[in-house]
Structures are given as C-alpha cells and as structure tokens.
C-alpha cells in the first residue's frame, strides 16, 4: 500500500478519505495498492497538479531547467505511424504494410526499419 503524493489529497472531501469516529473524525490522504496518475504516484490529476503547484519549480530547478530550445533534427524525426495509404488502396493492389515511418520535419515517408 502506498499513499497518494498529492499535497492537498486530504482536503478533498470524499467518503473514502474519512477516518475515525466521533471525536476523532478526520480526512486522510488516499492509500491504495496502485494509482493511475503520475507514474502511479497520484490518485487523480488534481492531486498531480497540486503536487506540481507545490513542488514543480523546485523540481525543475533541481533536475535542470530548459534554458535553450531542445531541437528535433531530420535525422531523429522519424516516427512510426499507421500506414494511412491502406485506407485508399484498391482491393487488388499490392499488400501495404500496416505501419510506415514519417519524418516530422520533412514529411518524407519510408518503410519501417
């Protein structure tokens, strides 16, 4: 079991966050075996956003702020896509492969490697 890392998780008023009985009532951070958001660290997108609002600047400064553009060049711009030519082919035309590679910079197409 692990806790949601959301910094405000305990402030969202839902039944499953309620603990304790009369005189000791409280809302607690969600605890689950797994979460769906933020690499399994958050119970909701809200909690992920809350964490970022609290720690995002520190985290970016710690791991390295982007200070200049990150560049995509022709050489590493090939992207595997569904081969949309298959939608338009004649039934008796040659068999087209299911995927092709498209260059995001030049729009060139090539067979998958």
Which residue in the set 4, 48, 78, 83 belongs to the binding site for Zn ion (CB under 5 A)?
Answer: 4
Q: How many CB atoms lie within 10 A of CB 78?
A: 19
Q: Which of residues 64-83 bind Zn ion (CB under 5 A)?
A: none
CB of 9 to Zn ion, least distance (A): 3
Q: Which stretch binds Zn ion (CB under 5 A): 22-30, 58-66, 83-91, 92-100?
A: 22-30
**Residues sharing a CB contact under 8 Å with residue 102, sequence separation 6 or more, in sequence order:** 78, 79, 81, 108, 109
Q: Which is nearer to Zn ion, 43 or 100 (CB)?
A: 43
Token look-up 């997108």 returns 45
Per the document, the length of the chain is 113
Contact pattern for Zn ion over residues 25 through 64, marking x by CB under 5 A: -----x------------x---x-----------------
Q: Which is nearer to Zn ion, 51 or 78 (CB)?
A: 51
| C-alpha distances out from residue 98 to 22, 78, 95, 108, Å | 62, 16, 9, 17
Please give the Cα distance from 90 to 51 (Å, whole number): 53
Q: Which is nearer to Zn ion, 30 or 100 (CB)?
A: 30
Residues forming the site for Zn ion (CB under 5 A): 4, 6, 9, 30, 43, 47
């Amino acid at each position: 079991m692990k806790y949601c890392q959301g910094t405000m998780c305990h402030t969202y008023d839902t039944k499953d966050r309620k603990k304790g009985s009369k005189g000791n009532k409280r809302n607690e951070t969600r605890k689950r075996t797994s979460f769906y958001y933020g690499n399994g660290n958050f119970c909701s997108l809200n909690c992920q956003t809350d964490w970022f609002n609290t720690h995002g600047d520190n985290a970016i400064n710690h791991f390295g702020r982007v200070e200049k553009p990150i560049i995509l060049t022709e050489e590493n711009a090939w992207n595997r896509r569904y081969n949309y030519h298959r939608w338009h082919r004649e039934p008796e035309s040659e068999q087209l492969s299911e995927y092709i590679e498209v260059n995001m910079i030049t729009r060139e197409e090539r067979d998958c490697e």
